[in-house]
């Protein structure tokens, strides 16, 4: 039996029309939450939300005005906001180490990084009004290691992990928990043509349901600024960051607060 009970609470999922987002919507509804599904795909958002009595909102998360407007709509129509899953994401789709398609690069950063910052900044005041809440950001193992097949995607996910770690510590005293979820390769449309290559060598992939289960584990036990990993055949677990050398050669803790 789950240790998470969201009865009477309201959850917002970005990129909720398919893949990981849709699986998390199902999981949140099962836990008792009323779920708001935000996606660029209006029809997909409506399809997923309507299956669970939720609210569908269409919007472009790269627009700085979208997340504040969505949070205001959620509070206006649902009365509160308790859980936020900043899940929308796209792949880089180019090498990122020679010729650069600037428009595609800006779109990548807009979805994978800007939307997370806009989402946290919009959600925090609403969570404060409830006395606290949870924000889980979909990152990737590419946020913890180098994925040479997509350096730009790696860049954005490293940024997301670093932001979650710092924002999580900054908000911990307000009972607002910010955590990052870092799955390995997941069988979704984001894989694109790589899916055939994985299938050809029988490479194990996570399912969206696997990630949704890991998401619930983060809700149940995730601490401020933590990154959680999930790989095929395993259970979700905290990633242990190493410290860095400090002044005079000593070891600096991984989450040291610098008074600069």
Question: Rounded mean pLDDT of 96-112?
Answer: 95
Query: Which own/partner contact pairs does 128-131 have at CB distance under 8 Å and 24+ positions apart?
Result: 128/174, 128/176, 129/75, 129/80, 130/80, 130/81, 130/82, 131/175
CA distance 105 to 236: 31
**pLDDT band, very low/low/confident/very high, at 149 (cuts 50, 70, 90):** confident
CA distance 196 to 220: 35
How confident is the model over 41-95, as pLDDT tens digits? Answer: 999 999 999 999 999 999 999 999 999 999 999 999 999 999 999 999 999 888 8
Full 3-state SS string of 3-60: CCCCCCCEEEEECCCCHHHHHHHHHHHHCCCEEEEEECCHHHHHHHHHCCCCEEEECC
Instruction: Give 10-252's CATH code, choosing from 3.40.140.10, 3.10.450.50, 3.30.2040.10, 3.40.50.720.
Output: 3.40.50.720
**pLDDT band, very low/low/confident/very high, at 33 (cuts 50, 70, 90):** very high
Provide the percentage of residues in the chain whose pLDDT is more than 70.
91
The residues assigned a catalytic role are: 153
Distance of CA 30 to the CA centre of its chain: 19
Asked if 4 and 31 count as a contact pair (C-beta separation under 8 A), the reply is yes
**pLDDT band, very low/low/confident/very high, at 247 (cuts 50, 70, 90):** confident
Task: Give the residue carrying structure tokens 């910010």.
Answer: 178
**pLDDT band, very low/low/confident/very high, at 259 (cuts 50, 70, 90):** very low
pTM of the model: 0.92
- Enumerate the domain spans of the chain: 10-252
């Amino acid at each position: 039996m789950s240790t998470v009970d969201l009865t009477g609470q309201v959850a917002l999922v970005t990129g909720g029309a398919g893949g990981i987002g849709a699986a998390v919507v199902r999981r949140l509804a099962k836990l008792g939450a009323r779920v708001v599904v935000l996606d660029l795909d209006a029809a997909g958002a409506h399809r997923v939300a309507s299956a669970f009595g939720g609210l569908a909102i269409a919007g472009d998360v790269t627009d700085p005005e979208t997340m504040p407007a969505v949070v205001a709509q959620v509070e206006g129509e649902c009365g509160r906001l308790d859980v936020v899953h900043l899940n929308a994401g796209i792949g880089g789709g180019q090498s990122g180490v020679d010729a650069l398609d600037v428009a595609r690069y800006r779109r990548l950063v807009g979805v994978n990084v800007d939307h997370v910052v806009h989402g946290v900044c919009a959600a925090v005041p609403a969570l404060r009004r409830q006395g606290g809440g949870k924000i889980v950001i979909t990152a990737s193992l590419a946020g913890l290691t180098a994925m040479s097949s997509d350096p730009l995607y790696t860049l954005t996910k490293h940024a997301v992990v670093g932001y979650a770690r710092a924002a999580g510590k900054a908000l911990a005293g307000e009972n607002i928990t910010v955590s990052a979820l870092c799955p390995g390769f997941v069988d979704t449309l984001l894989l694109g043509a790589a899916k055939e290559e994985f299938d050809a060598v029988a490479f194990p992939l996570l399912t969206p349901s696997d990630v949704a289960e890991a998401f619930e584990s983060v809700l149940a036990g995730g601490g401020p600024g933590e990154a959680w990993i999930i790989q095929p055949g395993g259970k979700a677990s905290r990633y242990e960051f190493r410290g860095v050398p400090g002044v005079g050669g000593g070891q600096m803790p991984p989450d040291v607060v610098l008074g600069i």
